[in-house]
Amino acid sequence: MKRKKKKSKKFISYIRNQIYSKQFLESNRKSDKDFTRKRKLTFPKIILFMLNSIKKSLQKELTEFFLNFSNEKNITNSAFCQSRMKLSHTAFIELNDGIIKEFYTDNIFNLWNGFRLLAIDGSRLQLPLSLELIEDFGFAENQGAVPVPMAQASYCYDLLNSMIINSEIDRYETSEYNLALKHLQKCQYEKDLLIYDRYYDGMWFMFYHLLKKKDFIIRMARNSITEVQNFFNSDEESKIIEITKLHIDSKNQLKKLGLEFNPFKIRLVKVILDNGEVEVLATSLLDEKKYPNKEFKWLYGKRWGIETNFDHLKNHLMIEDFTGLSSLSVLQDFFVSMFMANMQQIFISEAQDELKKQKKDTEYEYKINKNLSFGFMKDRFVKILLDKNADRNIKDLKELFKINPSPIRKGRNFPRVFHQFRKKFYMKKKRAV
């Protein structure tokens, strides 16, 4: 069967059917007694409200939402907070898993040599100050006396299609390796090529990929195993080496997973960055003719896409701007943001195709402005879900997405900026407008 690009309406139909299905409700409530009595705040209304990008004061968001989308009035902050405790965060994981499955089933999407190009990376998230969050997620040391609640988040991101395949959030001290193992369970496509930074260069980790029949490219640290150090100092551009034994730490990692080690081969590839710095990549792609050395600088360069996505999540979607002080509210908000980021990308993809045709005779290519487009989704996404004839609303939203696109100027580089630790969002001082 010939594949064609799925329209956003297909995804909207799936989401709408899920939200209003009895099975979805029963599998994503905290107990069998929840959402059984007739209440103002029904299961679908809570889901829809949380999908509406709650960034202003909670009471103002509630008042505006129910004025716009329901006949209900006087929904208080307290009433919502009590009702949300009946909703499992798994509802948003299930919605995201569903659209990911839709996206990669009988659909046109971008590949490299038949591979999905995926990146996995982690990021620390600052949480609101509460004793429950400190106990459940841990905290960071601060110069002051007050501990700062923190969590470890991790993402598996499709670099060519800008989709979040899977996301995880856990305690602050959780190893990024452990979260990466969870991501790999969700990498179900027949050919996945995982691209990692140097913090994932454990030999046991490479061995695990080979066991799971997943290919990889990993940037190596200079103080890695002897073979890698020698390769850094050599004139060779590519070399296949065999790993015949493991360091004690790697042995212990495999032992924890109940796995027995066998010797395996990896290929080392040397790339020279634009600033003249030499980097070594380890890969499972051993065939030098099929995968020539010159390809690897471009391949590893694509990993920057997950870094720019972090910026989008933190500064546009404001994923650290949580709406509650409980662990459940943090989990809900986190997975809502991951789902909405993917829905935004589905709309962007369609609008980008239309923009490309409109700008075909201009000097530069143009791309949709991610910050503006997410702002335009406020209220409109819920309106699309509630309107059975969604075509008009989807078309209007895509027209807004095409406002003020950004020109793509190739070859420009920007230095990475590191910010000092600071509190970003205050529970009691959210914007009212």
Tell me: pLDDT of 424 over 80: no
Q: How far apart are CA 327 and CA 332, in angstroms?
A: 9
Query: Which pLDDT tens digit goes with each residue over 38-67?
Result: 888 999 999 999 999 898 899 999 999 999
User: Residue 413 has what pLDDT?
Assistant: 57
pLDDT for 281 = 98
430 vs 327, residue with greater confidence: 327
pLDDT, residue 405, reads 86
| Residue-level pLDDT at 252 | 94
Q: pLDDT > 90: what percent of the chain?
A: 79
CB atoms within 10 A of CB 307: 14
The pLDDT tens digits for 185-216 are: 999 899 999 999 999 999 999 999 999 999 99
Q: Tell me the sheet residues that pair with 192.
A: 116
Handedness of CA 389, 391, 392, 397 (dihedral sign): positive
Please report the pLDDT score of residue 283 as a whole number: 98
DSSP per position, 122-163:
EEEEE----HHHHHHH-EE--SSSS-EEEEEEEEEEETTTTE
pTM score over 0.85? yes
Residue-level pLDDT at 95:
98
Coil, helix or strand at residue 339 = helix
Mean pLDDT of the chain: 91
Mean pLDDT of 254-271: 96
Q: What is the mean pLDDT of residues 370-378?
A: 93
State the pLDDT at residue 431: 42
pLDDT at 390 over 90: no
pLDDT tens per residue across span 299-331: 999 999 999 999 999 999 999 999 999 999 999
Contact 340, 51 (CB under 8 A): yes
Average pLDDT over residues 273-290: 93
Distance (Å, rounded) from C-alpha 339 to C-alpha 53?
A: 11
Per-residue pLDDT, 119: 98
Planar angle of CA 141, 331, 254, nearest 5 degrees: 70
- Give the pLDDT mean for 221-225: 92
Domain segments of the chain: what residues?
Answer: 111-308
Residue with tokens 């179900």: 188
Of the candidate ranges 71-80, 97-106, 243-252, 332-341, the one whose mean pLDDT is the lowest: 71-80
**Would you state the structure tokens that stand for residue 406, as one six-digit string?**
């950004």
Per-residue pLDDT averaged across 205-229, rounded? 95
Tell me, what's the pLDDT at 73? 78
